[in-house]
Amino acid sequence: MTRDSVPTPALLVDLDAFESNVRAMAGWVTVRGKGWRPHGKTHKCPAIAQRLVDAGASGACTAKLGEAEVFAAHGLRGLLVTTAVVGADKAARAAALAAMAPDTIVVADDLGQVAVLDRAAGEAGVRLRVAVDLYFGRTGVPPGEPACAVARAIDTAPHLAFAGLQAYDATASHTRGAEARRARTTTTMAAAVDTRRRLDADGIACPMVSAGSTGSYRYDADLDGLTELQPGSFIFMDSDYLSIGGDDGGDAYTDFQPALSVVTTVVSVHGDEAIVDGGYKAFATDRPFAPAPIGRPDLAYAWAGDEHGRIDMRRADRRLAVGDRLEFRAPHCDPTVNLYDAIHALRGDTVDAVWAVAARGKSQ
C-alpha cells in the first residue's frame, strides 16, 4: 500500500518525523537525568507504546484503566493510570490489573477512595501501588499538607504501597508564549517538589514525581525533585500545539515536527467548492479552528457534516477534481486518533506498517 492507495478517510503518521520527535524527547530528558513515561492517551496504540519503550521510556501512562488493560494485555509494563480510579468496580479492575502487571500505578486524590482501593487490593491478594494526584485546576488534591494526608493514608493502608506524586498541570502545557509557559510550570511544579520535601521530612519515601507535557517538558526537565516526564502529543503534534509559541518569542512551536495527518478524497465538486470525505467523524472538533490542508494554503476547509468537509477553492492555485486526495493537519491529535481503528505508518510514500489503535474508545 502507498500513501495514494490507503482507503480514506485515514490516519497517517510520517515515520521519519515521528522517530525524530521520539529521539528529541529521549535525548532531552535523559541528558537531564529524568525518566520518561510518555502518555498513551495520545496514541492508544500498543505498537507505539512499545516503540517508545524501545527508545528508553520506562513504560506508558494511560488516561484510563481500560487503556491500561489493553496495554498490559499486549505485554507492556510500567503503566501509570493518570486519572483517578473511582468506585468499587473499578478498584477491583485495578487490583486485577496489578495481579497481571504488578508495577502498575494508579492515582487517587480522596481518602474514601484510598480505602476502596485498599479493600479491593486486599480481596485480590495484591499490593496495589497508588500515587497521589496533585491539584492544579482540575482533578487532584492540593499540594502541601492536603496531599501529604492522602499520601500518609496510602502509606499506612495494609494492601497499598505509596508510589509517589503525579503533578500534571494541564494549564501549563498549553500556555501561549514560551516565557509564560516557563513561569507557569516553574511555579506549579515548585508546589509539587515542596510536597515531596514534606513527605521526606515525614519519613515517607516518594519514589516518583511524574509531571510535564509536550508544552512544558523543556522547563520541567531542569527542575530538581521531578523524577520523570509524561508528555504525549510530542510524537504526533497538531495545529494547536504547533502554535503555542517557541523560545524565539514567535507563535510557532518547532521543538517537534508534525507527524500526524488525515488523508481524505474529493468526492464531489460544485463550482468553487470541493467536498471531501472527512467531516466530524474524521477530525476532533473541540478546537476553534478547522483542519489545515497540508501544503495548500490556497485552500480552506469548513465542516460540512458528519462525513464531509467543504473546501473553498476561490483562491486555489490548482483546482481539485473528484478523486483527488487532500491531507490535513488535525486541530487536536488525541481525540482525532480516537476516531480511527488504525494508524498507517508511512516511510516516504510507502505504508511501512498498520498499527491498531487497540485502546480506541477504552474510556472506562
Ligand X SMILES: Cc1ncc(COP(=O)(O)O)c(C=O)c1O
> Which positions lie near ligand X, rule CB under 6 A?
39, 41-42, 61, 82, 168, 173, 213-215, 230-233
In angstroms, what is the minimal distance from the CB of 333 to ligand X? 8
- Of 195 and 230, which CB lies nearer to ligand X in the complex structure? 230
Q: Give the residue from 142, 139, 159, 146 showing the smallest Cα distance to 86.
A: 139
In sequence order, what are the residues at sequence separation of 6 or more whose Cβ sits closer than 8 angstroms to the Cβ of residue 41?
A: 61, 62, 63, 64, 67, 82, 232, 334
| Angstrom distance (rounded) from CA 363 to CA 289 | 25
Residue 84, SS3? coil
In angstroms, what is the minimal distance from the CB of 297 to ligand X? 26
In angstroms, what is the minimal distance from the CB of 217 to ligand X? 7
- Of 55 and 300, which CB lies nearer to ligand X in the complex structure? 55
In angstroms, what is the minimal distance from the CB of 232 to ligand X? 3
CA angle 330, 333, 335 (to 5 degrees): 110
| Angstrom distance (rounded) from CA 245 to CA 231 | 17
- Of 215 and 293, which CB lies nearer to ligand X in the complex structure? 215
- Grid coordinates representing 208 are 516518583
- Of 42 and 58, which CB lies nearer to ligand X in the complex structure? 42
Long-range contact pairs involving 251-258 (C-beta distance under 8 Å, separation at least 24)? 253/215, 255/24, 255/214, 255/218, 256/20, 256/21, 256/24, 256/25, 256/214, 257/14, 257/17, 257/20, 257/21, 258/14, 258/17, 258/329
- Of 140 and 278, which CB lies nearer to ligand X in the complex structure? 140
In angstroms, what is the minimal distance from the CB of 312 to ligand X? 31
In angstroms, what is the minimal distance from the CB of 107 to ligand X? 9
- Of 228 and 277, which CB lies nearer to ligand X in the complex structure? 228
